[in-house]
């Protein structure tokens, strides 16, 4: 490894292209940590946003008008405001209203909810609001007759949802869901605004110290291309794995 680091240092001295995040131990540690934190943010928010979507879509079909309108209000708020405003609202608006608690490790008073947790919460709700509408449209594409058949066999409302509607709706909405999740991964870098040291934040710290804005920007661009490519590959795999022979394709019979 030392050979590679030395080469990049020499490369910098020869060409002026400063890839400090490769040859410098401190910068390298920062960018690796940022990279993993971006992955962590993405994985957790993807999972939570899907949970929000599934539960929200289920509640949107509730008998109680009060429940349905609450879900609509939630969607309006989170879909119609910028995600950066949402993150600031949670961190500065709500975060400062909560009491501070004793941190057992440092022995000092610390916020009850950390900036990372606020970022997870607000990004999950943001993407979850879109997921509710996506799952809902997937559910509406499930033929009414399918529900009638399950109903006639004695299924309860929740059994119909879990065994019949959701498996079909999920397949119906996979392309739209994929788009939203790609957007979510790209939006995780807004956690930068509340000092969560994810990839973008780490890159910014490195270019402040090493004055290599140009190099870090190029790196960031390709790092996100790489991350999103992995997600898209996974989604395509899932779509193939869930494909039903003879269903939803041309010439299925």
Task: Decide if residue 99 touches other proteins (CB under 8 A).
Answer: no
Site membership for other proteins, residue 120 (CB under 8 A)? no
Check residue 103 for interaction with other proteins (CB under 8 A): no
The H or E element containing residue 101 is strand 100-102
**Where does this chain touch other proteins (CB under 8 A) — which range of 3-11, 15-23, 39-47, 244-252?**
244-252
Indicate whether 139 belongs to the interface with other proteins (CB under 8 A).
no
Identity of the residue, 94 or 153, whose beta carbon is nearer to other proteins in the bound complex: 153
* Structural element, H or E, at residue 195: none
Task: State the alpha helices, DSSP H only, in the chain.
Answer: 2-15, 20-23, 25-60, 65-79, 83-88, 115-140, 144-152, 157-160, 166-187, 199-210, 213-242
Binders of other proteins among residues 28 to 67 (CB under 8 A) are none
Select from 2-10, 118-126, 128-136, 165-173 the region that touches other proteins (CB under 8 A).
165-173
> Which one of 64, 143, 240, 250 is in contact with other proteins (CB under 8 A)?
143
The tokens for 106 are 């440092």
Burial of 192 (0-12, 13-18, 19+ CB in 10 A): buried
State how far the Cα of 193 lies from the Cα of 195, in Å rounded to an integer.
Answer: 6
Q: Which spans of this chain sit near other proteins (rule: CB under 8 A)? A: 143, 145-146, 148-156, 159, 163-164, 167-168, 171, 244-248, 252-253
């Amino acid at each position: 490894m030392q050979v590679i680091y030395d080469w990049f240092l020499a490369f910098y001295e020869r060409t002026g292209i400063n890839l400090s995040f490769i040859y410098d131990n401190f910068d390298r540690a920062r960018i690796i940590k940022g990279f993993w934190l971006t992955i962590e943010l993405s994985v957790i928010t993807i999972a939570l946003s899907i949970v929000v979507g599934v539960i929200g879509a289920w509640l949107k079909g509730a008998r109680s008008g009060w429940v349905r309108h609450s879900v609509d209000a939630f969607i309006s708020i989170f879909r119609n405001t910028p995600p950066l405003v949402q993150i600031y609202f949670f961190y500065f608006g709500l975060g400062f209203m909560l009491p501070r608690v004793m941190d057992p490790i440092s022995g000092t008073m610390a916020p009850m909810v950390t900036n990372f947790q606020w970022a997870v919460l607000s990004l999950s709700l943001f993407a979850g609001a879109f997921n509710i509408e996506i799952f809902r449209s997937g559910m509406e594409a499930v033929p009414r007759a399918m529900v009638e058949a399950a109903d006639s066999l004695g299924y309860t409302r929740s059994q119909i949802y879990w065994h019949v509607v959701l498996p079909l709706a999920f397949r119906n909405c996979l392309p739209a869901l994929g788009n939203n999740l790609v957007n979510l991964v790209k939006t995780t870098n807004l956690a930068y605004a509340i000092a969560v040291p994810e990839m973008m934040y780490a890159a910014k710290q490195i270019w402040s110290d090493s004055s290599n804005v140009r190099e870090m920007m190029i790196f960031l661009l390709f790092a996100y291309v790489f991350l999103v490519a992995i997600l898209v590959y996974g989604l395509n795999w899932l779509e193939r794995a869930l494909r039903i022979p003879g269903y939803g394709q041309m010439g299925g019979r």
